[in-house]
Amino acid sequence: MEEPTRKRLNDKNEEGSTQKKKKKQNLDTLLTTLLLKDEEKRRKKENNMVDDDGYYSDSEVVVGESNTMKSKKLAGGEPVRRVWVKERSGAWWEKCEKPEFPEKEFRKAFKMGRVTFEKICEELNSAIAKEDTTLRSAIPVRQRVAVCLWRLATGDPLSMVSRRFGLGISTCHKLVLEVCTAIKTVLMPKYLIWPDIAALRNIKGEFENITGIPNVVGSILTLHVPIIAPKTSVSAYFNKRHTERTQKSCYSVTIQGAVDHRGVFTDVCIGWPGSLRDNEVLEKSALFQRANSGGLNLSGFWVVGGCSYPLLDWVLVPYAQRNLTWTQYAFNEKIGVVRNVAKEAFGRLKGRWGCLQKRTEVKLHDLPLLLGACCVLHNVCELNNEEMGPEFFNIHGEDDGDGDVLEPEVALRSVSSFKARDAIAHNLLHHGLAGTSFL
C-alpha cells in the first residue's frame, strides 16, 4: 500500500477514536447531571417535610429502616416500621383533658362549657373519627374538635395552633376544614333551619310582647368580616364604607343573618363580596328567592331590617327621612328594639369567634365554610344557654349595622307595605304601645 494511503487510513482511525471518546464523555456528563438533579429533588422533598417551626409534618413522613431495624421482627413475624417525626409538646391539651382543669379556663379557651363541648364531640363522632394505622395512632375526636374550636375562637394563625396542640401545621389546617365540613353536614340541618309555621307563630308572639309590633318573626343584619386583599377581583371585595370610616383600606366578605327573638340564627347567607350593599346581598340570598316564591310561609309576617334594606311585602324597615313625625319617630323606636336583637346576636357571634374580628389567612374559597361553622356553633351555644362573660366581648372594630344614622331609603318596592307600615305606626302611637321617650 502506498504511503499517502496508509497515512489517510491512520488519520481516519484516530478521528473515529476521538469521536468515541467525546461521546463517552458526553454520556458520563449527562449521567452525572441527572444524578445530581435526582439528589437535589430528594433534598427538596425532605426540606418540604419540615414546617415553619422546624417540625416534620406528620403526613407521610416515612424514612427507610436501618439494617439493624430491618433485622428486628415483631412477634407475628412482621418487620418493625419506623416513622420519624419530630417530638412536639401537647402538654397544654393534655392538661385541658384532665377533670381538675378549671371550668372557667375551659370556657375561656373554647367559648363553651364542657357539657356543650362533649355534646358537639358526640354528634360529630361518626363524621370525623379515624382509625389507627400501622404507622401511627389516629388523633382523637375530642382533640380534633378542640383544634377547630380554638382556631375559630382565637383567630390565631396555624403556627400558633400547631404549638398549642403539639400537631403539625398542615395537620391543624386539615383538621379545621374537616371539622367545619362535618359541622355543615351534621349540625347545620339540625341547628340552623328556618322555623315551621308553628314556630313562626310562637316567635311572632314573643316579638309582639317585646315591641307591640304584630307579625314580626325575625330581625336581619349584614356583618362584614375583614379579609386580606385578594389577588383577583380586588375591587369587588373593597369595603368603601368601612374604609371611609377608619381611613384604612378594608376588604371584606359578608354574613347576612336573620335571627329570632332569642338571637338564634334562622337563616344565613355567607361569602358575598364586601363592596355590595345590604339590599344587593339580600337580593342574591336564598332567603329572598324563597320568600318571594312563597317557600318560607312568610305571607302575613315581617322580617325587620335597617334603612339599608328595601321595604317589601315581608321586610319591614324604619322611616328614613330626616323630619319625622311623632308617629314615625315612635315607630322607629320600636323597630330599633327588634333590630337590637340582631345586633346583640351578631355581637355575641363576634365575641365568641375571634376569627371574625381579624383579617384571616384562610383562603377565600374556604372562608364561607368556616364562617358558616361559626354561625352553627353560635346557635348550639345559644340553645344550650352558654353564658357570655365580659371577657368574651373583646370586640375590635365598629358596629356593622347602620346604627341611628338616617340614610336615603332604598327605592320603594311595595305600595301595600308602605301603607301597612303607616297603619302599624298609627296603632302603636294611638293605642298607647309606643312608649316613646319624649311623650
pLDDT (0 to 100) of residue 200: 96
Same domain, 200 and 264: yes
Same domain, 331 and 217: yes
Q: What percent of the chain stands above pLDDT 70?
A: 77
pLDDT (0 to 100) of residue 6: 55
Where among 142, 159, 190 does a domain terminate?
190
* Domain, as residue range, for 391: 195-430
Q: Which residues does 66 contact at the CB level (< 8 Å), separation at least 6? A: none
48 within a domain of the structure (yes/no): no
Give me the CATH number covering residue 117. 1.10.472
What does the pLDDT average to over 16-20?
68
Same domain, 115 and 233: no
Grid cell of 365 as nine digits: 374559597
pLDDT (0 to 100) of residue 140: 95
By mean pLDDT, which of 73-77, 302-306, 410-414, 426-430 is the weakest? 73-77
Beta bridge partners of 73: 79
Q: What percent of the chain stands above pLDDT 90?
A: 59
pLDDT at 48 over 90: no
pLDDT at 371 over 70: yes
399 within a domain of the structure (yes/no): yes
Same domain, 142 and 203: no
By mean pLDDT, which of 13-17, 54-58, 281-285 is the weakest? 54-58
Confidence at 123, pLDDT banded by 50, 70, 90: very high
By mean pLDDT, which of 128-132, 230-234, 394-398, 420-424 is the weakest? 394-398
Same domain, 337 and 367: yes
pLDDT (0 to 100) of residue 90: 78
- Among residues 165, 144, 151, 153, the alpha carbon closest in space to that of 112 is found at 153
pLDDT (0 to 100) of residue 2: 54
Q: Which residues does 255 contact at the CB level (< 8 Å), separation at least 6? A: 222, 223, 225, 268, 269, 270, 356, 371, 375
pLDDT (0 to 100) of residue 54: 38
Average pLDDT, whole number, for the chain? 83
pLDDT (0 to 100) of residue 45: 57
What does the pLDDT average to over 109-123?
95
Same domain, 137 and 279: no
Same domain, 234 and 180: no
Where among 160, 190, 220 does a domain terminate?
190
Q: Where are the beta strands (DSSP E) in 119-250?
A: 216-227
pLDDT at 233 over 80: yes
What does the pLDDT average to over 169-173?
94
22 within a domain of the structure (yes/no): no
64 within a domain of the structure (yes/no): no
Domains: count for the chain: 2
Same domain, 163 and 205: no
Highest mean pLDDT among 44-58, 214-228, 403-417: 214-228
Confidence at 69, pLDDT banded by 50, 70, 90: very low
pLDDT digits (tens, 9 = 90+) for 372-401: 999 999 999 999 999 876 656 544 444 444
pLDDT (0 to 100) of residue 433: 60
What does the pLDDT average to over 205-228?
95
By mean pLDDT, which of 124-128, 233-237, 394-398 is the weakest? 394-398
Same domain, 239 and 262: yes
Confidence at 294, pLDDT banded by 50, 70, 90: confident
Same domain, 304 and 425: yes
What does the pLDDT average to over 4-12?
56
pLDDT (0 to 100) of residue 393: 55
Same domain, 317 and 400: yes
pLDDT (0 to 100) of residue 437: 47
What does the pLDDT average to over 184-196?
96
205 within a domain of the structure (yes/no): yes
Confidence at 404, pLDDT banded by 50, 70, 90: very low
pLDDT at 156 over 80: yes
Same domain, 182 and 238: no
